[in-house]
A and B are shown apart, each in its own frame.
Chain A
Amino acid sequence: MEDIKWKEYLKNSFISMIWFSLLLFPMLVMKITVKGGMADVTYRWGYMVIVPVAAFILSALWKYFRERQQGRESNEKRGEIAAFFRKAFIENKKIQITSIILAILIMAFYPVFSGMYNTNVMISALIYIMLGLGLNIVLGLGGMLHLGHAAFFAVGAYTYGLFFRYAEQFFINAGISTGWMFWIALPAGGLMAAVFGVLLSLPVLRLRGDYLAIVTLAFGEITRMVLQNWGSVTGGATGISLIPRPWFFGVNVTPKLAAIYIYYIVFAFVIISIITVSRLENSRIGRAWEAMREDEIACQSMGIDLVRNKLTAFVLGSVWAGVAGVLFASQTTYINPDSFTIWESILILCIVVLGGTGSISGVILGALIIKLLPEYMRAFAQYRMLIFGLALVLMMIFRPGGIIKKVRKVYRFPLDEVNDTAAEGQN
């Protein structure tokens, strides 16, 4: 039996070795340059050794893991490690609470010992946690595929930017520190994003699935194009620079202190959004969203107002993005439309999906991984998008629920025997 399996593996790997050598030959071995209208191809034969070997090994690994995965699916058997973590973290309240407190403590003192660069990097990661949590409402809970989340991020950032651009003089004349503008822009950014959320949901309400995806994508691109082309108002591609950092007791803070200060503001907002989203999740409205995600028609026939449901999902999701935008503008002090392209929306989508659609801790982990790993692996900077793309594909295949799968709330009956079957049924 073992013998046959070995042969099968060998044969399989051998075929993929030949196939991938052929497939990648033009891309990896040949390198084309065009000089004076004539193409010139140089050959890099070194790859002719690497590609077959890599293809041979990788294809064997691929087959092994696929088979293992399929075996697991049929047996419904979980890996021991996963079960251990599950028991330790999710079912044991004590460890769960301790680790949460520990994480909060580490994060709370992070800027004190990490230096300005690390603090700045962590700020952008935290901002993306907020963006991810916002999208999680629309996508993870509401089940609506949203490819224009960066638009609301932009709306928030530009609310602050434009407010600064047009009201700066007024503040200076009135003798008020421009740092106060941040605190006015913060709620205003959230509000504006909410207004745009309503605007977007109007055409979207009738659409579903892929049509919804393309309309949200279009909305995101239109927003960016207006910001880019309406130069007389928004500053166009030149963007808005020297946006003030938040007010800090009238002190003109150095960038280092400002980073720490902004870090704590962002941190506070992340905590607030985590609490809000987790409260929303199990509320009446959260359950309605999840019902909508599972089946719109069934949900409607249960007497849930779909229009209101979609509207609230979009608006609440957008508010977080708007607030995140204001924070982003105050951190970088410079914004231009290039920061809000479709790739940004895709990145946020990936944060949610990689981390675990619908799961709050998953989104947090996803944002940290996607923002921190590339930053600290600068040596691989060239390859990061390549690796990222590959990671998305592999993730979807081997762990479709994301790194941390969403655990649905289980409502237990007091009877011990019943609850085990009920819990399994729920999962």
Chain B
Amino acid sequence: MDYFLKLLLSGTAKGSIYALIALGYTMVYGIIKLINFAHGEIYMIGAFIALMVGGTLQAAGVNPAVILIVSTLAAVFFAAAYGLTMEKIAYKPLRAAPRLSVLISAIGMSMFLQNLVLLSQTEKYLSFPSFLPEFLFLKPIRGYINSTQFIILIITSIVMVLLTLLIKFTLIGKAMRATSQDREMAQLVGININSVITVTFIIGSATAAIGGILICSYMGQINYYIGFIAGIKAFVAAVLGGIGSIPGAVLGSFVLGWTESLGTGYISSDYEDSFAFIILILILTVKPSGILGKKENQKV
């Protein structure tokens, strides 16, 4: 039982890692029906920026709390700027194009950003110093959950609640929902869909940057390729929960985390990824639009 609890908790921690990235994925998808393949790259770039800014400040001997705040702000700013620019260059000209073209453009963007970092920085793994505070009250139960995992879990929940509130209760949220339901109709009632999409990308990229800092602090290392690996998993999680739905992305991430963790614990970690993909196929076969996804009516 103790073992089960440990596995469940590590699955939860893992799920919250996936969720941080999946939230941005699902948000962009929900509004413009685009699988933003390059989302993982934004997460990686955010973490790199945090490392650069944090590292510079650390060398200057600044207080850790200040480092954490300043590097987070810088990472969020740059990630949002990258997201915004990416949208302007790679997706906006394709608004009327078929879905496949936009997907290919996203794949191209993902390759481009990955290699930009590879060539301009390094192909090696870099150590990522943790700027996060350590909660001493968690020390006695560190076999179950550690401080960084705890912080990730808390922040994921906060981000999820904030995003849900934003979409449900604010004006821009309303505009987002309208754009998502019917783009042309939304334009007719006076919504500037371009600015709605821009805002969506900014928010999605900002959450990715926060995810990047937290997850890299947890892993203790960074590399140009981390975005792609995490991106694929987050994408699976988002689809599992019903892509486009924010609670769905979180639920899907937890399901994925638990499956992987329990599968590893009771069967074998050799097939860890296979468990993730098999549960995905099973759920999609039973419910083709994911756990919390809405069934879309098809029209001719």
Interface, chain A (partner B; CB < 8 A): 19-20, 22-23, 26-28, 30-34, 37-41, 66, 139, 145, 203, 206-207, 209-211, 213-215, 217-219, 221-222, 225-226, 229, 295-298, 301, 342, 346, 349-350, 353, 357, 382-383, 385-386, 388-393, 395-397, 400
Contact = CB atoms under 8 A, between A and B. Distances in A.
Contacts, number: 180
A23 B85 contact: yes
A31 B101 contact: no
Contacts of A390: 108, 112
B94 A397 contact: yes
B44 to A, nearest CB: 11
Given A213-B35, A221-B277, A295 B300 contact: yes
A386 B115 contact: yes
Given A33-B122, A39-B52, A203-B285, A396 B116 contact: no
Query: Would you call the interface of chain B mostly helix, strand, loop, or mixed?
Result: helix
A214 B236 contact: yes
A353 B105 CA distance: 11
B85 A218 contact: no
B78 interface: yes
B126 A386 contact: no
B178 interface: no
8 contacts: A19-B85, A37-B127, A39-B54, A66-B93, A203-B284, A295-B300, A301-B300, A385-B114
Contacts of B110: 389
A33 B124 CA distance: 10
B121 A31 contact: yes
B59 A211 contact: no
Nearest to B34: A210
Interface in B282-300: 284-285, 288-290, 298-300
Given A210-B243, A218-B280, A382-B119, A225 B274 contact: yes
Contacts of A225: 271, 273-274
A393 B89 contact: yes
B74 to A, nearest CB: 8
Interface string B113-155: 1111101111000111100000000000000000000000000
Interface in B227-263: 232, 235-236, 239, 243
Nearest to B98: A400
B97 A400 contact: yes
A347 to B, nearest CB: 10
Contacts of A219: 277, 281
Interface string B187-209: 00000000000000000000000
Given A27-B117, A396-B105, A342 B277 contact: no
B4 to A, nearest CB: 25
A217 B281 CA distance: 11
A211 B29 CA distance: 12
Contacts of B81: 22-23
A283 to B, nearest CB: 24
B102 interface: yes
B52 A30 contact: yes
Given A39-B55, A218-B280, A342-B232, A392 B104 contact: yes
A41 B53 CA distance: 9
Contacts of B277: 218-219, 221-222
A217 B277 CA distance: 9
A70 to B, nearest CB: 9
Contacts of A386: 111-112, 115-116, 119
Interface in B72-102: 78, 81-82, 85, 89-90, 93-94, 97-102
A28 to B, nearest CB: 5
A207 B284 contact: yes
B264 interface: no
Question: Looking at chain B, what size class is its interface with the partner chain?
Answer: 35 or more
Nearest to A229: B270
Interface string B151-185: 00000000000000000000000000000000000
Contact of B107 (A22, A222, A297, A346): A346
B152 to A, nearest CB: 22
A215 B280 contact: yes
A19 to B, nearest CB: 7
The 3 closest A-B pairs by CB, nearest first: A39-B55, A392-B108, A389-B111
A173 B279 CA distance: 45
A23 B113 CA distance: 12
Given A22-B81, A297-B298, A389-B109, A40 B104 contact: no
Interface string B52-77: 11111011000000000000000000
B35 A23 contact: no
B161 to A, nearest CB: 27
Contacts of B298: 296-297
Contacts of B232: 217, 342
B103 interface: yes
B49 interface: yes
Contact of B281 (A34, A218, A346, A349): A218
B51 interface: yes
Given A210-B29, A217-B232, A218-B277, 5 more contacts: A221-B274, A229-B271, A386-B112, A389-B109, A396-B97
A396 B104 contact: yes
A229 B105 CA distance: 33
A397 B120 contact: no
Contacts of A395: 104, 108
Given A222-B274, A389-B115, A210 B239 contact: yes
Interface in B13-66: 29, 33, 35, 45, 48-49, 51-56, 58-59
A396 B52 contact: no
Contacts of B82: 23
B219 interface: no
B105 A209 contact: no
Contacts of B45: 27
Nearest to A30: B52
Nearest to A200: B281
A215 B284 contact: yes
Nearest to A296: B298
Nearest to A390: B112
